[in-house]
C-alpha cells in the first residue's frame, strides 16, 4: 500500500524491489526451516530412512532401456498365461478369454446378432443358406492345444463373427464362404445310421460338443476330451434304440435346468433346424462325403429335396436317454 | 506415535502442565483469529534487540522472546535458568540442557488441533497438509520388513503390461491411462475407496483398487485384466462381445460405471445428482457453457452442462459466411483468419473451432425467451469449469451417412496447454478469439488454467480394424509406450509426433477444495 506513493528519500521502484526481496527471502527462510524441522524430527524419532527403498529392490526394479526388450528387461515371449473365468470357473488361456466370455455370458453385439439371425432363419426359410456356421469350438476351454488343433482353428476363423461382419460390409452375402469348411463335411450325427456312426467313431474322437452339438473330428487321442467322454458318446450313439418317431428334443432340453440354458436352447433350436435342412448340405453339392453317403442311402431322389421330404434316421431318442440320469448328465458334462 | 521429549520437558510438564505451551502456540504460532494475527505481527520481536528477527524463540517459563541466531534466547536461559523455549515459526520445543529440539506427542497433538483451527479461520478446510508418518506399529512393521516398492525415477514400480484377452487393446490402453492419472493414483493408493455396495466382487471401483495394487506390486509379468473385463461387460452391456471396440466409448462407459459404483460411498451428496463428489466427478467433470444469443434482441440464454471429455471435430469445417475466398485446398490462408474453414492441424485450432460462435441458420430457429419469437441465433461453447483431468477426443472416426472413414491427418498437440482462451470468462471479455489472445495467455504468468500432457492413446489401422497403443508419463518427462503386455521407453518427441486419438491432460496446479 505504502509502496504506491513515491517515497520521499528514494525512488519507489527500488523500495518495492528491496521489499519484495525481503518478503521473498523471509518466505524461503521459513519454508527451509520447516523442512529442517521435519527432517530433524524424523531423525530423532528414527523414521527418517524408514521408507527408503532397500538397495536390492532398487536394483531389481531398475528401468531397462535396450532395444528388443521391455522396461523390465524381459524378452517378449509368447508365454501362455492362464486365467479363471469368473462366470464358469473354467481355466483357460488368457489370450482367448474375451471370445470365451462372449459365449460364456451369451452376450455381445455379434453374439446376439448371430443368435437373432439364427432364430430368424429357423423360423422362416429353412433352406436359406445365409446363416453362418456356428464357430464354436471346444478348443476355447483348453489351453493345451496342440498344433493340429491350432490349424483347425485357423481354418475356422473365416466363420468368426468378425469375419462375418466384414464380409457383410462388403456385399451383404455371408453364405458362400461357409461352404466347404471342414466341419460342413461331417453330417450331424442325427442323420447317420448306426453303421455310419460306427465307421465314423472308428476314426474320430467323436465327442459331441455341448455348444455346437457337433462331433469332434480329431483322432482318438485328441487332447481335449477324455477317454471317459469318448466312451460315453459311443454308448450314447451306438446303443441301438427304437426310433422315437417325432420326439421333441426341445422339451427334453427344457427339463435340463442350467443358468445358461437360454443360450443352449438357441443352439439346439438351430440344431433342430439343421437336422431338417442343414444349410450347409443344401448348398454344398460339391460336398463329396455327405452326398455320397446320402446317395447310397436313398438313390434316385435329389439331395436337397430328399432332405426336405423324408427325414433321415433319427438319433437315439434323447428323451429315453434322459431317463437314465448318468447318460444325460454325461452328455452335457463332458466338455 | 508416542514420544516423550526429554527428562527436562517432562519435569516441566509435571510442574506446570501444558498450558504455557498452549497459550504461546495459540497466540503467537497458529493464530485462529484476525486479532491474534495482528497481535502476533506486532509483538513477535526480540525483547533484547527489538528486531522481528528470524528464528525467534519464546521462553516457556516466562514472557520473554529472544532471537536464536543472536543468542539472546540462550543468554536468557542461562541467566534465568529457564531451560525450555518454543520456536515461534513451527512450535518446536528447544531444551537447553539437552542442546537440541525435543518432540513430545502430547504437545504435538495440541499443536495439530491449533493449526487446524488456524487454517479454518483462514477459510482453508480444517485439514493440515502434513506428510504421512508411521505410527508405532507401522514403524515396527517397516523395520521388520525392509523391502520397499517405491515410485522412483529409475524404477519400474507402477508400470505393468496388460495381457490382451482377445481384441481388448482398447481396454488396456484406457486402463493404462487411468492408472497413470496422478490424482486417481493418489486416491487409490491411499486406499480411500470405502466400498458401500457390500459386494466387493461386483464393484468396479474395488477392482480399480486391486488394479492399482497389481501395478504397484513390483511384479514384472503382465497382468491379466480378466476380472475387469467381466465386470465391464456385466455393467456396460453395450461394450460386451468379442470384437474391436472404440477406446473412447470404453473410457466413457468405464467412467460411468465407476461413477455409479462410487455413489454408494458418498451418501451425503447423493441427494444432489448434479453435484456428485465422487472421485470420478471430482477429477473428470468439467462444466461446458453454452450461450445462445438471439440475433434480434441480443438476449443470451446460458446453460452449463457437465462433461467428462471434449470431443473435437477434425474434418473440414463449415464454410464461413463472411470469408468465402479461403478454400479448403489452401489451409495456409484459412489458417490465420478464419478458423472453421480449414482442417485443423493442432489441438489449439480444434479448440478454437470448438469454442467459436456458431450461427444457427434459418432452419434452426429457436424461441427466444426474451422477445418470445422464433429467431435466428448464434451459439457458442466455452469452458465454465475446467476439470482436473481434461480428456480430448479427436474425432478420427467419421461416420457420415453412406461412408465411414478414419481421418489420419496429423494434429499437433502441446506438452503444456493453457485453457485460458477457451474459458467462459474469456468469452465475456472478448467475443470470439483471435490468435493474439492465445499467444498472450501462453506467455502470461497465470498457471491456473495450465495443463500437462500425461497420456496419449493412439489408434493404428483402419476404421474397421486396428490396434490401440498408449503412451503414458510416469514422472516428469519420462514416457513409456504401452502396447498390451509390452512396456518400452519412449521419448517425449515420439509422443508428441504420434497421431493422437485420446489426449489426457492434467491440471498443473490444484486449488484447495
Sketch the domain layout of chain B as residue ranges. 7-121, 169-262, 286-507
Domain containing A87: what range?
Answer: 82-167
* A290 occurs within a structural domain: yes
Fold: same for B7-121 and B286-507:
no
Q: How confident is the model at residue A118 (pLDDT cuts 50, 70, 90)?
A: low
Q: From the list A44, A54, A101, which residue is nearest B148 (CB)?
A: A54
Worst-scoring range by mean pLDDT, A8-17, A100-109, A285-294, B30-39?
A285-294
pLDDT score, position B87: 94
How far CA B123 is from CA of B35, B90, B116, B120, in Å, comes to 16, 20, 11, 5
How far CA A329 is from CA of A149, A217, A226, A237, B216, in Å, comes to 26, 22, 15, 15, 46
- Pick the catalytic residue from B8, B82, B230, B467: B467
Q: Rounded CA gap, B480 and B482, in Å?
A: 6
Hey, is A271 helix, strand or coil?
Answer: helix
Residue A156's contacts (CB-CB under 8 Å, 6 or more residues apart) are A135, A137, A181, A182, A183
* A184 occurs within a structural domain: yes
* A209 occurs within a structural domain: yes
* A137 occurs within a structural domain: yes
Of B90, B140, B13, which is closest to residue A41 (Cα–Cα)?
B90
Reading the block at residue B56, the C-alpha cell is 525467534
Residue A37 reports pLDDT greater than 50? yes
* A191 occurs within a structural domain: yes
A52 in B contact zone (CB under 8 Å): yes
ipTM above 0.90, yes or no: no
Q: Rounded CA gap, B348 and B336, in Å?
A: 13
**Domain match, A125 and A244 both:** no
Of B70, B60, B65, which is closest to residue B42 (Cα–Cα)?
B65
Residues of B in Cβ contact (< 8 Å) with A30: 54, 89
**Domain match, A144 and A236 both:** no
Q: Rounded CA gap, A90 and A163, in Å?
A: 27
Residues of A in Cβ contact (< 8 Å) with B237: 107
Q: How confident is the model at residue A308 (pLDDT cuts 50, 70, 90)?
A: very low
- Whether B169 is catalytic is yes
Q: From the list A50, A53, A162, which residue is nearest B243 (CB)?
A: A162
* A239 occurs within a structural domain: yes
Q: How far is B244 from chain A (nearest CA, A)?
A: 9
Which of A133, A167, A201 is the last residue in one of the domains?
A167
User: Under a CB-based contact definition with an 8 Å cutoff, are residues B162 and B176 in contact?
Assistant: yes
| Buried-state track B471-496, b at ≥16 Cβ within 10 A, e below 16 | bbbbeeeebbbbbbbbbbbbeeeebb
Reading the block at residue A153, the C-alpha cell is 482353428
pLDDT score, position B512: 63
Query: Distance from CA of residue A252 to its chain's centroid?
Result: 27
Instruction: Report percent pLDDT > 90 for chain A.
Output: 7
**Domain match, A316 and A229 both:** yes
A33 in B contact zone (CB under 8 Å): yes
Q: From the list A58, A72, A102, which residue is nearest B242 (CB)?
A: A102
> Per this entry, what is the length of chain A?
335
A83 in B contact zone (CB under 8 Å): yes
Give the β-pairing of B450-461 and B416-418. Answer: antiparallel
Which of A126, A141, A167 is the last residue in one of the domains?
A167
Q: Rounded CA gap, B358 and B329, in Å?
A: 22
Concatenated DSSP letters of B194-231: ---SS-GGG-HHHHHHHHHHHHTS---SPB-THHHHHH
Hey, is B258 helix, strand or coil?
Answer: helix
The superfamily (CATH) of domain B7-121 is Zinc/RING finger domain, C3HC4 (zinc finger) (3.30.40.10)
**Domain match, A208 and A152 both:** no
Q: From the list A51, A63, A109, which residue is nearest B148 (CB)?
A: A51
The nearest alpha carbon in chain A to B241 belongs to A108
pLDDT score, position A246: 44
Q: Rounded CA gap, B229 and A299, in Å?
A: 54
pLDDT score, position B447: 60
**Domain match, A199 and A253 both:** yes
**Domain match, A100 and A153 both:** yes
pLDDT score, position B509: 87
How far CA B317 is from CA of B272, B342, B356, B391, B500, in Å, comes to 38, 6, 11, 22, 20
Give pLDDT < 70 ranges for chain B.
1-2, 126-129, 197-198, 200, 264-275, 317-342, 401-402, 427-447, 512-513
Q: Rounded CA gap, B344 and B316, in Å?
A: 8
Reading the block at residue B236, the C-alpha cell is 456396460
Concatenated DSSP letters of B281-318: HHHH-EEEEEEEEETTT--EEEEEEEES-EEE--SPPP
A22 in B contact zone (CB under 8 Å): no
- Pick the catalytic residue from B169, B203, B294, B470: B169
**Domain match, A208 and A292 both:** yes
| Buried-state track B349-367, b at ≥16 Cβ within 10 A, e below 16 | bbbbbbbbbbebeeeeeee
Concatenated DSSP letters of A167-212: HHHHHS--SGGGTT-GGGGSPPGGGS-HHHHHHHHHHS--PBPTTT
Domain count, chain A: 2
pLDDT score, position B78: 92
**Domain match, A277 and A139 both:** no
pLDDT, one tens digit per residue, over A248-281 is 444 444 344 444 445 544 454 444 444 443 333 3
CB atoms near residue A60 (< 10 Å): 17
User: Under a CB-based contact definition with an 8 Å cutoff, are residues B451 and B416 in contact?
Assistant: yes
DSSP A140: G
**In the A/B pair of chains, how many CB contacts fall below 8 A?**
163
Of B113, B112, B136, B105, which is closest to residue B10 (Cα–Cα)?
B105
A254 in B contact zone (CB under 8 Å): no
* A48 occurs within a structural domain: no
- Whether B203 is catalytic is no
Residue A125's contacts (CB-CB under 8 Å, 6 or more residues apart) are none
Q: How far is B385 from chain A (nearest CA, A)?
A: 32
pLDDT, one tens digit per residue, over A165-218 is 333 333 434 333 333 334 444 456 666 777 777 777 777 778 877 666 677 777
Mean pLDDT of A284-308: 38
CA-angle at B355, arms to B272 and B458, nearest 5°: 85
**Domain match, A256 and A231 both:** yes
Q: Rounded CA gap, B66 and B433, in Å?
A: 58
Residues of B in Cβ contact (< 8 Å) with A116: none
The answer to whether B486 contacts A86, with C-beta atoms less than 8 Å apart, is no
pLDDT score, position B274: 56
CB atoms near residue B153 (< 10 Å): 9
pLDDT score, position B476: 82
Give the β-pairing of B374-375 and B478-483. Answer: unpaired
Residue recorded with cell 469452458: B383
User: Under a CB-based contact definition with an 8 Å cutoff, are residues B311 and B393 in contact?
Assistant: yes
Residue B107's contacts (CB-CB under 8 Å, 6 or more residues apart) are B5, B18, B21, B91, B93
Residues of B in Cβ contact (< 8 Å) with A51: 142, 148, 150
User: Under a CB-based contact definition with an 8 Å cutoff, are residues B489 and B473 in contact?
Assistant: no
The burial class, CB within 10 Å (0-12 / 13-18 / 19+), for B214 is middle
Backbone angles phi, psi at B490, to 5 degrees: -145, 155
Which residue, among A97, A112, A159, A165, would best test binding to B if mutated, counting the most B CBs under 10 Å from its CB? Answer: A97
Residue recorded with cell 494475527: B37
Residue A309 reports pLDDT greater than 80? no
* A25 occurs within a structural domain: no
Which of A167, A191, A219 is the last residue in one of the domains?
A167
Hey, is B85 helix, strand or coil?
Answer: strand
Q: In this predicted model, which residue has the larger pLDDT, B279 or A238? A: B279
pLDDT, one tens digit per residue, over A138-147 is 444 444 434 4
- Taking the CA atoms of chain A, what radius of gyration do you get in angstroms? 35
Percent of chain A that is helix, strand, coil (3-state, to 5) = 55, 5, 40
Assigned CATH topology for domain B286-507? Cathepsin B; Chain A (3.90.70)
Amino acid at each position: 500500500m505504502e509502496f504506491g506513493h513515491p517515497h520521499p528519500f528514494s525512488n519507489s521502484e527500488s523500495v518495492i524491489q528491496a521489499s519484495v526481496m525481503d518478503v521473498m527471502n523471509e518466505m524461503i527462510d521459513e519454508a527451509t526451516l520447516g523442512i529442517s524441522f521435519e527432517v530433524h524430527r524424523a531423525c530423532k524419532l528414527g523414521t527418517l530412512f524408514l521408507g527408503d527403498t532397500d538397495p536390492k529392490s532398487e536394483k531389481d526394479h531398475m528401468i531397462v532401456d535396450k532395444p528388443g526388450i521391455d522396461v523390465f528387461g524381459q524378452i517378449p515371449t509368447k508365454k501362455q498365461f492362464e486365467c479363471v473365468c469368473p462366470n464358469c470357473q473354467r481355466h483357460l488361456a488368457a489370450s482367448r478369454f474375451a471370445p470365451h466370455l462372449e459365449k460364456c455370458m451369451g452376450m455381445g453385439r455379434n453374439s446376439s446378432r448371430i443368435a437373432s439371425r439364427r432364430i430368424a432363419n429357423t423360423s422362416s426359410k429353412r433352406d436359406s443358406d445365409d446363416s453362418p456356421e456356428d464357430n464354436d469350438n471346444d478348443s476355447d476351454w483348453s489351453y493345451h492345444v496342440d498344433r493340429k488343433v491350432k490349424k483347425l482353428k485357423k481354418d475356422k476363423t473365416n466363420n468368426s463373427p468378425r469375419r462375418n461382419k466384414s464380409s457383410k460390409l462388403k456385399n451383404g452375402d455371408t453364405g458362400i464362404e461357409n461352404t466347404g469348411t471342414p466341419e460342413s463335411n461331417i453330417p450331424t450325427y442325427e442323420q447317420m445310421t448306426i453303421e455310419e456312426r460306427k465307421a465314423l467313431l472308428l476314426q474320430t474322437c467323436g465327442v459331441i460338443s455341448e455348444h455346437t452339438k457337433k462331433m469332434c473330428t480329431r483322432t482318438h487321442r485328441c487332447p481335449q476330451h477324455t477317454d471317459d467322454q469318448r466312451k460315453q458318446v459311443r454308448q450314447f450313439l451306438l446303443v441301438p434304440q427304437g426310433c422315437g418317431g417325432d420326439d421333441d428334443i426341445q422339451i427334453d432340453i427344457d427339463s435340463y435346468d442350467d443358468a445358461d440354458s437360454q443360450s443352449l436352447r438357441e443352439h439346439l433350436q438351430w440344431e433342430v433346424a439343421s437336422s431338417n435342412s442343414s444349410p450347409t448340405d443344401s448348398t454344398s453339392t460339391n460336398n463329396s462325403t455327405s452326398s455320397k453317403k446320402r446317395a447310397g442311402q436313398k438313390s434316385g431322389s435329389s439331395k436337397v429335396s430328399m432332405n426336405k421330404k423324408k427325414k433321415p434316421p433319427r438319433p437315439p431318442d434323447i428323451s429315453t436317454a434322459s431317463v437314465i440320469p448318468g447318460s444325460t448328465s454325461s452328455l452335457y458334462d463332458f466338455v | 506415535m508416542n514420544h516423550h521429549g526429554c527428562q527436562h520437558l517432562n519435569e516441566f510438564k509435571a510442574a506446570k502442565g501444558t498450558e504455557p505451551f498452549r497459550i504461546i502456540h495459540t497466540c503467537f504460532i497458529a493464530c485462529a483469529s484476525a486479532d491474534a494475527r495482528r497481535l502476533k505481527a506486532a509483538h513477535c520481536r526480540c525483547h533484547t534487540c527489538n528486531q522481528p528477527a528470524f528464528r525467534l524463540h519464546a521462553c516457556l517459563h516466562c514472557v520473554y522472546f529472544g532471537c536464536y541466531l543472536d543468542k539472546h534466547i540462550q543468554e536468557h536461559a542461562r541467566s534465568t535458568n529457564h531451560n525450555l523455549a518454543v520456536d515461534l515459526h513451527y512450535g518446536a520445543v528447544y531444551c537447553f540442557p539437552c542442546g537440541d529440539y525435543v518432540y513430545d506427542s502430547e504437545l504435538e497433538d495440541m499443536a495439530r488441533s491449533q493449526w487446524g483451527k488456524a487454517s479454518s479461520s483462514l477459510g482453508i478446510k480444517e485439514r493440515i497438509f502434513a506428510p504421512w508418518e508411521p505410527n508405532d506399529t507401522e514403524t515396527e512393521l517397516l523395520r521388520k520388513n525392509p523391502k520397499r516398492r517405491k515410485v522412483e525415477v529409475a524404477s519400474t514400480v507402477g508400470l505393468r503390461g496388460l495381457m490382451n484377452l482377445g481384441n481388448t487393446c482398447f481396454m488396456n490402453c484406457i486402463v493404462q491411462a487411468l492408472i497413470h492419472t496422478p490424482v486417481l493414483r493418489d486416491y487409490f493408493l491411499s486406499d480411500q475407496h470405502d466400498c458401500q455396495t457390500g459386494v466387493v466382487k461386483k464393484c468396479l471401483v474395488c477392482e480399480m483398487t486391486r488394479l492399482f495394487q497389481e501395478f504397484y506390486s513390483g511384479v514384472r509379468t503382465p497382468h491379466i485384466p480378466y476380472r475387469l473385463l467381466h465386470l465391464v461387460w456385466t455393467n456396460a452391456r453395450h461394450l460386451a462381445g468379442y470384437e474391436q471396440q472404440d477406446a473412447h466409448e470404453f473410457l466413457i462407459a468405464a467412467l460411468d460405471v465407476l461413477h455409479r459404483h462410487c455413489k454408494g460411498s458418498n451418501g451425503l451428496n447423493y441427494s444432489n445428482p448434479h453435484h456428485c463428489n465422487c472421485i470420478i466427478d471430482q477429477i473428470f467433470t468439467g462444466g461446458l457453457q453454452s450461450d445462445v444469443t438471439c440475433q434480434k434482441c441480443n438476449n443470451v440464454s446460458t446453460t452449463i452442462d457437465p462433461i467428462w471429455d471434449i470431443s473435437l471435430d477434425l474434418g473440414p469445417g463449415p464454410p464461413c459466411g463472411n470469408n468465402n475466398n479461403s478454400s479448403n485446398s489452401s489451409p495456409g490462408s484459412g489458417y490465420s483468419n478464419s478458423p472453421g474453414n480449414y482442417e485443423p492441424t493442432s489441438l489449439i485450432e480444434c479448440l478454437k473451432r470448438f469454442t467459436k460462435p456458431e450461427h444457427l441458420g434459418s432452419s434452426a430457429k429457436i424461441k427466444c425467451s426474451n422477445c418470445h419469437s422464433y429467431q435466428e441465433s448464434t451459439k457458442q461453447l466455452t469452458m465454465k469449469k475446467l476439470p482436473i483431468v481434461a480428456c480430448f477426443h479427436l474425432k478420427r472416426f467419421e461416420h457420415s451417412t453412406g461412408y465411414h472413414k478414419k481421418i489420419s491427418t496429423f494434429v499437433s498437440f502441446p506438452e503444456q496447454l493453457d485453457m485460458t482462451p477457451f474459458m467462459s470468462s474469456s468469452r465475456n471479455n472478448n467475443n470470439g478469439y483471435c490468435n493474439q489472445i492465445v499467444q498472450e495467455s501462453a506467455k502470461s504468468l497465470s498457471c491456473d488454467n495450465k495443463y500437462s500432457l500425461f497420456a496419449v492413446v493412439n489408434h493404428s489401422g483402419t476404421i474397421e480394424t486396428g490396434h490401440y497403443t498408449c503412451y503414458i508419463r510416469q514422472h516428469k518427462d519420462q514416457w513409456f509406450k504401452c502396447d498390451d503386455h509390452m512396456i518400452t521407453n519412449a521419448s517425449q518427441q515420439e509422443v508428441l509426433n504420434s497421431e493422437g486419438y485420446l489426449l489426457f491432460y492434467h491440471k498443473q496446479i490444484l486449488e484447495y477444495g
